[in-house]
Amino acid sequence: MSWREEWKYLVILLTGFLVCFFLPVGLPRFDYAVNESMQLVRWYAREHVVLCLLPAFFIAGAISVFVSQDSVMKYLGAGANKFLAYGVASVSGTILAVCSCTVLPLFGGIWRMGAGLGPAIAFLYSGPAINVLAIIMTARILGFRIGVARAVGAVLFSIVIGLLMHFFFRKDEEKRVQAQAATPDKDSGRPLWQTASYFAAMVAVLVFANWGKADGVTGTWAMIYRMKWVLTSISGGFLGVILGLWYGMAWWKLGVTTGITIISALVFPHEPLVPFAAAIVCLGAFTSTAEGELKEWFAASWALAKQIMPLLLFGVAAAGFFLGRPGAEGIIPNTWVSAAVGGNSIWANLLAAVIGAFMYFATLTEVPILQGLIGSGMGQGPALALLLAGPALSLPSMLVIASIMGTKKTSVYCALVVVMATITGALFGMLPATL
């Protein structure tokens, strides 16, 4: 080993020692930030890992195994019809009410299957940004004007950012297309309507299990929220029938899974997370010990989980330490944020976009956070900038995106989101309040 490498390890060890030696343990601000970090990780593990990420991993694994590469290339590939590819990708959020972290396994799945960089990025941005319920809540709570601006801005952002990413990395895209052209397509021989039903059942489980509480007690959204676990159970049962009829899952395995899920629901009637987790565990156990496509499905899902989960948990802990949870604060005081994003200067919009890009927002939580910030003096322009950058990005998602498509592409993508959110926020803040 060379002395240069030895010095490198010495510097790393010395830096780590000095950090540990000078940790400000005992200072209220530091201790509170550490507590917020752990609280956010615990909340994330309880509320998002089981309900959001695990179903998303199975969907992403299914994309890798059951969706032909030819189909992905036809509709989302670099050489696909641009209107169709970007049109489908840019409105995906109306179906998937997910946060910036839950969309990552799905993005990883279509990226590995050969989706073009532009459409894949459009999907990555639109998944958490174009959430119908979140946009409705934004319009009701923050005002119709900013709700419309968020909806229009999110759709346009996904398309423009996707097109710019394709333009900046067009040489890399040409190489990917050539490499994929030399790879033979694997045809499952299964009718399209069967595959579509299979994915529809999994997406329904993901959507209904994570359906957020509506603003009010009446209306369609509120009714679906009250029925969310019934609808989730029906979707799960539909998925089980599909697996038994068309995918070779043994019926006794489906029966055991159903039995364990029902027993869990009876034992824990007020904890729907328990039977949901039991069903997921059974699905993982039975697919991992199966043969053929089902085993490949579990292997692909597990590969994505191994890649993504550690980075997500680390990123959530870091985000909690620096910025805290919704309604709380980390090492950075909220008063600093409120003071810095008042008015409509370009710096206020830039800071709002950067804070939104690094902070973790669960689905729908950005609205009450912004309500508090606006009440503390935040300008309308910075509020829109945060809405356009926040739900689509977070520190955890940045780490994962970098592991999927590389640091360079990730840096450009994040920069585009922040810059466009800043400019859009500044322009929006200049508009008369009557518009």
Residue 406: left (phi > 0), alpha (psi -120 to 50), or beta? left
The pLDDT of residue 10:
83
Q: Which of 120, 121, 115 is nearest to 79 (CA)?
A: 115
pLDDT digits (tens, 9 = 90+) for 319-328: 888 877 766 7
pTM score of the predicted model = 0.79
pLDDT digits (tens, 9 = 90+) for 355-405: 889 888 766 677 777 877 777 678 889 999 999 998 888 888 999 999 999
CA gap 351, 341 in Å, rounded: 7
Q: What average pLDDT does the structure give for the chain?
A: 85
pLDDT digits (tens, 9 = 90+) for 64-116: 888 777 777 777 777 677 888 888 787 775 666 667 777 888 888 888 888 88
Residue 335: Cβ-neighbour burial (10 angstroms; 0-12, 13-18, 19+): exposed
Please list, in sequence order, all residues whose beta carbon lies within 8 angstroms of the beta carbon of residue 187, skipping any fewer than 6 positions away: 68, 70
Q: What's CA 101's distance to the chain center, in Å? A: 3
pLDDT per residue of the chain (435 residues) written in tens, 0 to 9: 566 677 888 888 898 888 888 888 888 888 888 898 888 888 888 777 888 888 988 988 888 888 777 777 777 777 677 888 888 787 775 666 667 777 888 888 888 888 889 999 998 998 787 777 678 778 877 888 998 899 888 888 999 999 999 999 988 888 777 766 555 555 556 788 898 899 999 989 988 888 877 666 677 778 888 899 999 999 999 999 999 999 999 999 999 999 999 999 999 998 999 999 999 999 999 999 998 899 999 999 998 888 888 888 888 888 888 877 766 778 888 777 777 887 788 999 999 999 889 888 766 677 777 877 777 678 889 999 999 998 888 888 999 999 999 999 999 999 999 999 999 999 998 887 656
Please list, in sequence order, all residues whose beta carbon lies within 8 angstroms of the beta carbon of residue 262, skipping any fewer than 6 positions away: 275
CA gap 46, 55 in Å, rounded: 14
pLDDT digits (tens, 9 = 90+) for 346-368: 999 999 999 889 888 766 677 77
